[in-house]
């Protein structure tokens, strides 16, 4: 155990969820941002589900679209997300690429028998599908030389705020498990920061804290990698009235899984005491949820279809676990560093998440009564300001404060948006040629880090359809901007954020058979 001559503190990432409203508001948005979903056919058309129908992904896009089925179908859609991220940090650029495969869609549609012509309800259909609604896979790397600060400076801020002496910091560390109760206590054991000797007690230290090699620059490098997604099993039922009005409803059972590892490392340039040190953060999130949707499609004539769909928020029960490890490598052989790695006690937190309410409407116009193809367009309303996060892990007052803090953060940060989509299909015998575009406005009320987070998705694809089977392929390209800040300090001029430009290409192949 570190002796009482030195004292140190370190910022918590999430030690207590209280006071972390911005983190959980951001989590709510991350798990709610649907960009493009469904089969390769729907992706190639820009993600237009509202008024088209006749596709297995209608189960969740607009369940009324199942009413067009007159025969049963089974289909499978593997996808590949190709991520290319360029990060700029303190004037230095780093590029990182990765390919993440997944099963984006699986579906079975069971079409009912056609009713007699003297009955108004002509046919019904039942659909059961699996779909990856949100992909949470990401990867980026950034590095640069910082002449103004170190992450250790943020540990000093936390140690000063805690106002603990060396003995009190040591009491927060278990030498049997090498685990500290909070991050600053872990850093204290590694000699990352040190306390000032007390004038009244030479054997004790306390605030203000300092770090070794305080004037030396640091080479900072950060590696982030995440995986997982929000997926959903959906069961939907639809009916067809007079081949003009199609009505459907669905029940969605969602599953959330998100994992990330962030490795932040600093190497002291010309340092005399410490060579390098690292902070490794690991987060695991799991959850299950439920939602409902209902939709209609109406054909005023044989060439026009109008559609609308309403989807409730997804109500999700979430469990998360955050783990942190600090590591330090000494340069000075006389530094009494007993271990070069200290763990921080895991932080587990359970909460309930409510995603946005969604509504969509669209129109499809068939060219040559559908023999030539069609054009389709839709608008999707997403109520991001209605996202909510609640918990029951604290006492009644703290639970209420947490709920209100997150609600205020959501409403101050996010705004409701209307996503616009358009697509077209041209038919030539068995061949289908498709193209689409989607515009997703920036959902932030104020541009963070002066970044416009709106997205433009360009898609296209080909399809081959026979009486027995079909094969569809699509490609979607989109670019987005974001920022990542490894640590913060009271003076914003003393730390930097990485500006990250991400180019994402999705390749999806759908194969299916009719029966």
Count of structural domains, the chain? 1
Does 159 fall in a domain?
A: no
Q: What is the mean pLDDT of residues 51-77?
A: 96
Q: What is the mean pLDDT of residues 470-492?
A: 95
Does 200 fall in a domain?
A: no
Looking at residue 113, its pLDDT comes to 79
DSSP state letter for 375: E
Looking at residue 11, its pLDDT comes to 32
Looking at residue 18, its pLDDT comes to 61
Does 121 fall in a domain?
A: yes
Residue 213 and residue 427: Cα distance in Å, rounded? 69
Q: What is the mean pLDDT of residues 141-145?
A: 97
What is the chain's Cα-based Rg?
A: 27
CA atoms within 13 A on the CB side of 479: 5
Does 450 fall in a domain?
A: yes
Looking at residue 198, its pLDDT comes to 83
Does 362 fall in a domain?
A: yes
Residue 238 and residue 109: Cα distance in Å, rounded? 11
8 A C-beta contact, residue 85 and residue 140: yes
| Containing structural domain, residue 291 | 21-148+214-315+349-514
Helix or strand run (H / E) with residue 333: none
Q: What is the mean pLDDT of residues 217-233?
A: 97
Q: What is the pTM of this model?
A: 0.90
SS3 122: strand
Does 371 fall in a domain?
A: yes
CA atoms within 13 A on the CB side of 111: 21
Which of these, 82, 140, 103, 388, lies nearest to 260 by C-alpha position?
140
Residue 15 and residue 259: Cα distance in Å, rounded? 18
Percent of the chain beyond pLDDT 90?
85
What tens digit of pLDDT does each residue of 180-203 get?
Answer: 998 888 999 999 988 888 888 878
Residue 405 and residue 402: Cα distance in Å, rounded? 5
CATH number at residue 396: 2.40.160.60
Q: Are strands 315-330 and 373-382 parallel, antiparallel or unpaired?
A: unpaired
Cis geometry, peptide bond prior to residue 180 (ω within 30 degrees of 0):
no
Does 229 fall in a domain?
A: yes
What rounded mean pLDDT belongs to the chain?
93
Task: Please provide the DSSP assignment of 450-488 as one string.
Answer: G----EEEEEEEEEEE-SSEEEEEEEEEEEEEEEE-S--
Looking at residue 116, its pLDDT comes to 61
SS3 36: coil
Residue 270 above 50 pLDDT?
A: yes
Residue 7 above 90 pLDDT?
A: no
Token digits of residue 19: 């006071």
End-to-end, the C-alpha distance of the chain in Å comes to 71
Q: What is the mean pLDDT of residues 419-426?
A: 98
8 A C-beta contact, residue 28 and residue 5: no
Number of C-beta neighbours around residue 5 at 10 A = 14
Does 157 fall in a domain?
A: no
CA separation, residue 421 to residues 29, 64, 276, 374, 440 (Å): 21, 19, 49, 14, 9
Token digits of residue 5: 């001559």
Please say whether the dihedral angle defined by the alpha carbons of residues 358, 259, 10 and 182, taken in this order, is positive or negative.
positive
User: 3-state secondary structure string, 125-171?
Assistant: EEEEEEEEEEECCEEEEEEEEECCCCHHHHHHHHHHHHCCCHHHHHC
């Amino acid at each position: 155990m570190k002796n009482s001559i030195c004292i140190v503190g370190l910022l918590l990432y999430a030690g207590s969820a209280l006071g972390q409203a911005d983190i959980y508001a951001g989590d709510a948005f991350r798990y709610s941002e649907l960009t493009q979903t469904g089969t390769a056919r729907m992706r190639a058309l820009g993600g237009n589900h509202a008024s088209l129908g006749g596709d297995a992904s209608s189960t969740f896009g607009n369940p009324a679209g199942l009413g067009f089925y007159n025969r049963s179908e089974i289909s499978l859609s593997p996808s590949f997300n190709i991520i290319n991220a360029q990060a700029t940090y303190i004037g230095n650029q780093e590029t990182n690429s990765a390919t993440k495969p997944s099963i984006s869609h699986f579906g079975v549609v069971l079409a009912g028998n056609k009713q007699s012509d003297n009955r108004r309800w002509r046919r019904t259909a039942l659909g059961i599908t699996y779909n990856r609604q949100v992909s949470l896979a990401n990867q980026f790397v950034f590095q640069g030389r910082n002449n103004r600060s170190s992450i250790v400076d943020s540990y000093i801020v936390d140690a000063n705020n805690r106002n603990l002496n060396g003995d009190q910091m040591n009491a927060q560390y278990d030498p049997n498990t090498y685990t500290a109760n909070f991050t600053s206590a872990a850093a204290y054991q590694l000699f990352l920061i040190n306390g000032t000797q007390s004038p009244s007690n030479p054997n004790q230290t306390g605030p203000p804290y300092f770090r070794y090699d305080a004037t030396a620059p640091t080479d900072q490098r950060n590696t982030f990698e995440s995986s997982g997604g929000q997926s959903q099993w959906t069961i939907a039922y639809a009916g067809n009235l007079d081949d003009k009005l199609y009505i459907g409803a669905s029940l969605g059972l969602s599953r959330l899984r998100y994992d990330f590892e962030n490795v932040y490392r600093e190497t002291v340039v010309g340092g005399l005491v410490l060579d390098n040190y690292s902070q490794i953060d690991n987060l695991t999130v799991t959850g299950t949820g439920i939602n409902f949707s209902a939709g209609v499609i109406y054909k005023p004539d044989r060439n026009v279809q109008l559609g609308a769909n309403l989807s409730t928020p997804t109500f999700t029960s979430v469990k998360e676990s955050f783990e942190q490890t600090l590591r330090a490598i000494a340069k000075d052989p006389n530094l009494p560093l007993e271990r070069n790695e200290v763990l921080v006690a895991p932080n587990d937190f359970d909460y309930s998440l409510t995603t946005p309410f969604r509504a969509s409407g669209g129109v499809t116009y068939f060219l040559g009564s559908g023999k030539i193809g069609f054009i389709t367009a839709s608008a999707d309303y997403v109520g991001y300001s209605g996202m909510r996060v609640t918990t029951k892990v604290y006492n009644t007052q703290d639970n209420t404060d947490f709920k209100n803090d997150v609600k205020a953060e959501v409403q101050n940060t996010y705004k409701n948006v209307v996503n616009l989509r358009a697509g077209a299909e041209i038919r030539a015998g068995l061949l289908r040629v498709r193209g689409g575009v989607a515009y997703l406005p920036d959902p932030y009320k104020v541009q963070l880090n002066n970044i416009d987070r709106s997205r433009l998705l360009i898609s296209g694809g080909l399809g081959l359809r026979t009486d027995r089977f079909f094969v569809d392929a699509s490609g979607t390209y989109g670019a987005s901007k974001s920022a990542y800040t490894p640590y913060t300090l009271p003076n914003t001029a003393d730390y930097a954020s990485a500006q990250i430009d991400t180019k994402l290409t999705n390749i999806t192949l759908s194969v299916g058979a009719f029966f």
